Structure 1
Amino acid sequence: MVIVKETAESTLTARPPHTAELLMASDGAVLDQDGDTKLDDVERADTLTPSSSNIESSSRDPFNIRNGLASEDQLQDLRRRRKNGKRLEKYHRRQNDLIQSFLKPMEEHTEDARAEEEAARLPVKIAVWASLFANFALCVLQLYAAISSLSLSLLATGIDSVFDIGSNVLLVWLHKKASKLDANKWPVGGSRLETIGNIVYGFLMGSVNLVVIVESARTLITHNSNDDLNELHIPSLISVGAALGVKFLLFLYCLSLRKASSQVEVLWEDHRNDLFINGFGILMSAGGSKLKWYLDPVGGLIIAAGVILAWGRTIYKQFELLAGKSAPHDFVQLLTYKATTFSDEIEKVDTVRAYHSGPEYYVEIDVVMDANTPLWKAHDLSQQLQDKIEVLPNVDRAFVHVDHETTHVPVRTPQISMILMI
């Protein structure tokens, strides 16, 4: 039975140290105290039993968390409850998924992620290039609609379509650039390039739409109320309507792929925003021609403001990634469990941190081993744990530090010196 003990330093006590002096490796090799045999895969070694390598032993579930799994019958009973039944079922299904992820070896997490990435490679490529070609064709249509109708609402949709092409080209270029950066000049790689590109592009979108807001406000202020309604330009509305239909199809296609690629997620958000922009633009342009003249400039102002707000939200999210926002709590829990149960040599887990450095995570883990653990064994175990974590989905870098005590302060707040100049 494994005991979890929480101290003032938030330290987890892992499984008890070895009572025997031998450790069985995944290939059947035995390690002695002198370290004559190289340490092999510890996590895989724990999963092996004498009868079958495919059956997990009880050591793979030292905290007996498997007992917390809710059966399908229990979930159905929860669902039938009158009050909060669906919420309870959803919560326990999430708990089931979390427990299953804990019990799954880290290699399986990596293999599953690679399989999903490989399966999504072609659909992602289709989404990127289809969006690029579609946006180029729709840009021509919407610029024609804006110029021929002189509608401010359609002008706002036309400007957005021009920048859609810029967004697609920028994403493709940054993706290729990030994979070819010189490691000597950029040691941490180019994972943050896409994040920086999204921020720059968002500021450009905001700047251009400010021009539309100013022009719409000027039209509202200087317009002569005795003027006739704007002329209804049917071809322009048909052009924007065609763009609306194409954007809807692209939105549906990217919807199921948005979790497979950060590129597709940005494209999905863009198509979603364009549905509102184009649909609202058609209504306000037609309203300015048939109902009240001021509906058209008001529509242009609202569309431009909506684009600025949408991209402002995107910029904020991207800044969070660059600033080092913490990884989701479930992922930190997974790291904590895997570090705690990785090897019997790990007595405690002192600190677990996972935070964004761009779209991917940096992971820092401090573990505690016995002070008499041989250096080679401490190094090999920590290196093996680090290697396994670094191939987990969305992990860019991992750092595993080994200590022999927990009396030091696990978290040090950096002291920032400020010089006041008078």
Structure 2
Amino acid sequence: MSTVKNYTISIEGNIGCGKSTALSQFTNSPLFEIIPEPVAKWTNFYGFNLLEMFYEDQQRWAFLFELNALRTLAETHTLRIRKPIKILERSILCTRRCFMENIYQTGKLKDVEYRMLDDEYQRLTTNNSCHVDLIFYLRTTPEVCMERIQARNRPEEVSKIDWKYLASLHQLHEDWLYGHNGRDSTNSSNVIIIDANQDREQVYATINTQLSHPTERFYEHQNSMIDKYASLINETIEESIDETTRKLRKRVRLLTTLSLIINVCLFFVKIIASILSNSLSIISSVVDSAVDLVSSLILFWTARAIRNRNQYRYPAGRTRLEPVAIIILSVIMCSASAEILTEALKRLLTYVRYLTHQTNEIPEVNMNIKQPIPIAAMCITIILKIVLYYFCRNVKVETIKALAQDHRNDILSNFVALISGLIAGQTLSGQINIRFVVIDPIGAIVISIYIIISWVSQATLHIRHLTGVTADPDFLKVITWIAMNFSSYLTKIDMVKAFHFGTDLLVEVDIGLPGTMQIQQAHDIGSRLQRKLETMPEIARAFVHIDYEFEHRPDEHKQI
């Protein structure tokens, strides 16, 4: 099962900037869970007031207090809550970037203590466990902070915090958050800066306005989930499976066949265009089309092999051929692009040598208005690829997703090739400054790098699918909802697990039924739940386990 991370917001700022006052306005909100700074754990650590001890003698207690602060703030990040959005009054990131740095820079921490605290911070934040999605920086001058500290009159602060200390912390906050200087340490969090020198009503109004964006996203997400649940309530099992599968298979067959035919035609058209133009960008596009042709053949064969499986030789089906085929395509695409990249770099070096008068030889590029065939070939290619991408983009089958990505890549690469070839052709014909001739190999380099990055990303995703990565948390929620509302006889949902089996998912659900129920009735409930789950197109197989007691471990299978 997967752990769902809440959307986490952190309110940051100097001591006395008004964090507690601003957060008090959201205490009764049904959407926000307010997590206050764990001051109680700092003022009562097994009867010791660490905060007061720190302010009285920072040289002696700095290490112990910072260690306690790191650990207690890490607990606020990982605290389980019922509401969807968590708002922290200061994060562990702030303790590391501001308070810990301040006492180190002022000589309150020895080098070995600083390194030890940093190691502890790295341990606590491993695997993004202390993630922050959004930061509000209440930007306040040290003078205003001092006034507010004196006004609230906390015994640990009044006589022990001076302006110099606040000014040092203010500068560290500025270095970290103002102008997004600290983006690397906030895990690419968004930072919203609020002028907190103004009165509390204005600060609250500004925060409230900014919070409307994650709130809107939350409710949009909730509405989509409700629509998903509603669509599953009265769905007829057998008819849904047969009709959905039939339509999907027909569309997959049509799109793979159409893509194959068009790629064959475009391949020969672009060969003619590359011969006539001698543009390296066009040649790179031809290589891309050749790989497209191979990819279409592989995906066409894959779709056919999955459709015509031997149920005795492949009892679990052959759907895992899809990610295997896509990974093979990724290797082919990257290899071809790497070859073009090498050739483009060689030609770029030749052009640079020509421009610096180190050679008189320069490759010709015959692509201009007087040679309309290469231009027309590229324009036809772009138009056909746009049409194919439009029809493939929303089909929820990995084979067609790969085709859609390939068509999208072709649109971009052919457009870049067309523009690069035209500029190079106009340059060599004397209509544009000769320096622009380098656009042709640069265009080929851009195309190659884009294709490599795109297909490496695809390969990484499908390798994770083949190795059994867990399903999306929202999908697990849907499975759990179906099981909970399936039968009034259910006494418990003991476990819900969903993980990738190639592109599709395997689902395991452990349900509880009364121990006195007849085996026939229990079997029928489990069987109908299994078939209900398998109506969902994402699920390849669903396994429903039935039990009557729950003293055992939820997952009794061998750990692998």
Common topology (TM > 0.5):
yes
Partner in structure 1 of residue 486 of structure 2: 342
1:240-259 alignment runs, 5 A limit: 240-255=378-393, 257-259=394-396
Where structure 1 has 5 or more consecutive residues not aligned to the other structure, the ranges are 1-80, 417-422
Deviation string 1:311-337 (CA, Å, 9 cap, x unpaired) is: 111111211221222223232112112
Partner in structure 2 of residue 214 of structure 1: 342
Partner in structure 1 of residue 261 of structure 2: 133
Partner in structure 1 of residue 331 of structure 2: 203
Partner in structure 2 of residue 99 of structure 1: 226
Decide which of 365, 377, 391 is 1:231's aligned counterpart: 365
Partner in structure 2 of residue 325 of structure 1: 469
Cα RMSD between the aligned structures?
2.8
Deviation string 1:319-361 (CA, Å, 9 cap, x unpaired) is: 1221222223232112112212222322000100111112211
State the shift of 1:187 in Å: 1.8
Does residue 550 of structure 2 align to residue 406 of structure 1? yes
Contact 1:229 1:288 in 2 (8 A): no
Secondary structure of the residue that 1:332 maps to in structure 2? helix
Counterparts of 1:173 and 1:189 in 2: how far apart (Å)? 15
State the shift of 1:112 in Å: 5.5
Question: In structure 2, what residue type is equivalent to 1:387?
Answer: R
Secondary structure of the residue that 1:354 maps to in structure 2? strand
Higher helix share: 2
Contact 2:237 2:532 in 1 (8 A): no
Secondary structure of the residue that 1:342 maps to in structure 2? coil
Deviates more, 1:173-182 or 1:371-380: 371-380
Say which one has the larger Rg.
Answer: 2
Contact 1:156 1:212 in 2 (8 A): yes
Counterparts of 2:392 and 2:498 in 1: how far apart (Å)? 28
State the shift of 1:379 in Å: 2.5
Contact 1:390 1:398 in 2 (8 A): yes
State the shift of 1:363 in Å: 0.5
Counterparts of 2:350 and 2:514 in 1: how far apart (Å)? 80
Counterparts of 1:208 and 1:216 in 2: how far apart (Å)? 12
Counterparts of 1:179 and 1:264 in 2: how far apart (Å)? 14
Q: 1:384 to 1:274 in 2, by over 3 A?
A: same
Counterparts of 2:527 and 2:479 in 1: how far apart (Å)? 15
1:281-300 alignment runs, 5 A limit: 281-289=417-425, 290=427, 291=434, 292-300=436-444
Q: 1:97 to 1:239 in 2, by over 3 A?
A: closer
State the shift of 1:84 in Å: 6.7
Secondary structure of the residue that 1:402 maps to in structure 2? strand
TM-score under structure 2 normalisation?
Answer: 0.54
State the shift of 1:302 in Å: 1.9
Q: 1:221 to 1:413 in 2, by over 3 A?
A: farther
Decide which of 253, 277, 286 is 2:413's aligned counterpart: 277
1:107-118 alignment runs, 5 A limit: 107-108=235-236, 111=239, 115=243
Question: In structure 2, what residue type is equivalent to 1:195?
Answer: P
Secondary structure of the residue that 2:379 maps to in structure 1? helix
Secondary structure of the residue that 1:308 maps to in structure 2? helix
Q: 1:415 to 1:124 in 2, by over 3 A?
A: closer
Q: 1:265 to 1:328 in 2, by over 3 A?
A: same
Counterparts of 1:123 and 1:276 in 2: how far apart (Å)? 25
Question: In structure 1, what residue type is equivalent to 2:257?
Answer: W
Does residue 285 of structure 2 align to residue 157 of structure 1? yes
Partner in structure 1 of residue 80 of structure 2: none
Q: 1:110 to 1:337 in 2, by over 3 A?
A: farther
Count of residue correspondences: 334
Contact 1:369 1:378 in 2 (8 A): yes
Question: In structure 2, what residue type is equivalent to 1:308?
Answer: I
Where structure 2 has 5 or more consecutive residues not aligned to the other structure, the ranges are 1-207, 428-433
Counterparts of 2:238 and 2:518 in 1: how far apart (Å)? 30
State the shift of 1:135 in Å: 1.4
State the shift of 1:389 in Å: 1.6
Deviation string 1:42-65 (CA, Å, 9 cap, x unpaired) is: xxxxxxxxxxxxxxxxxxxxxxxx
State the shift of 1:373 in Å: 3.1
Counterparts of 1:389 and 1:106 in 2: how far apart (Å)? 13
Decide which of 399, 404, 412 is 1:268's aligned counterpart: 404
Contact 1:106 1:388 in 2 (8 A): no
Q: Which has the higher contact order (CA 8 A, sep 6+)?
A: 1
Question: In structure 1, what residue type is equivalent to 2:420?
Answer: M
Question: In structure 2, what residue type is equivalent to 1:271?
Answer: H
Question: In structure 2, what residue type is equivalent to 1:148?
Answer: L
Q: 1:95 to 1:108 in 2, by over 3 A?
A: farther
Secondary structure of the residue that 1:162 maps to in structure 2? helix
State the shift of 1:119 in Å: 5.4
Counterparts of 1:413 and 1:284 in 2: how far apart (Å)? 59
Deviates more, 1:153-162 or 1:109-118: 109-118
Q: Percent identity?
A: 27
Secondary structure of the residue that 1:349 maps to in structure 2? strand
Counterparts of 1:166 and 1:342 in 2: how far apart (Å)? 46
